[in-house]
């Protein structure tokens, strides 16, 4: 469920940038306290950490991840509708879940994925961190 304090939604790539201290990570560190992620993106982040053989995944997630918004029926429908406008850009379900959640709740969407900002129907909601 969305926290009343969440103003921004973070894509998996934004969280990975923080974990790896990649270019742009400081932008996310500044806003993470007012941010959330989609439950689909939470699953992606856990998958990345498991593949990297990170120990204490649960603890790291609890410490790092802001509020989590459930991927419910309404967001699922919005993510499905996005497939029409994103099909030529190769966006995944995780990408569309993040974007749909941000649009549904009227939040700015933080990502490292430059292609998102080139999609006219969503570019006004996108903030590239690098």
Q: 81: domain CATH number? A: 3.40.50.1010
**Could you tell me the pTM of the whole model?**
0.93
Q: Is 91 helix (H, G, I), strand (E, B) or coil?
A: coil
Pair 38, 105: CB distance under 8 Å: no
pLDDT at residue 2 above 60?
Answer: no
Task: Establish if 43 belongs to a structural domain.
Answer: yes
Pair 69, 2: CB distance under 8 Å: yes
Please compute Rg for the chain using Cα positions. Answer: 14
Per-residue pLDDT reduced to its tens digit, 70-88:
999 999 999 999 999 999 9
Task: Establish if 16 belongs to a structural domain.
Answer: yes
Task: Establish if 1 belongs to a structural domain.
Answer: no
Q: What's the domain range around 98?
A: 8-128
């Amino acid at each position: 469920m969305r926290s009343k304090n969440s103003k921004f939604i973070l894509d998996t790539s934004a969280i990975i940038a923080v974990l790896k201290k990649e270019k742009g990570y400081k932008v996310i560190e500044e806003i993470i306290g007012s941010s959330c992620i989609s439950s689909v993106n939470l699953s992606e982040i856990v998958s990345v950490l498991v593949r990297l053989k990170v120990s204490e995944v649960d603890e790291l997630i609890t410490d790092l991840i802001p509020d989590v918004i459930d991927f419910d029926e309404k967001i699922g429908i919005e993510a499905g509708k996005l497939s029409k406008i994103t099909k030529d850009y190769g966006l995944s379900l995780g990408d569309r879940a993040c974007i749909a959640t941000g649009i549904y709740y009227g939040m700015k969407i933080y990502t490292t994925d430059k292609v998102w900002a080139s999609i006219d129907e969503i570019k006004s909601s996108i903030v590239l961190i690098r």
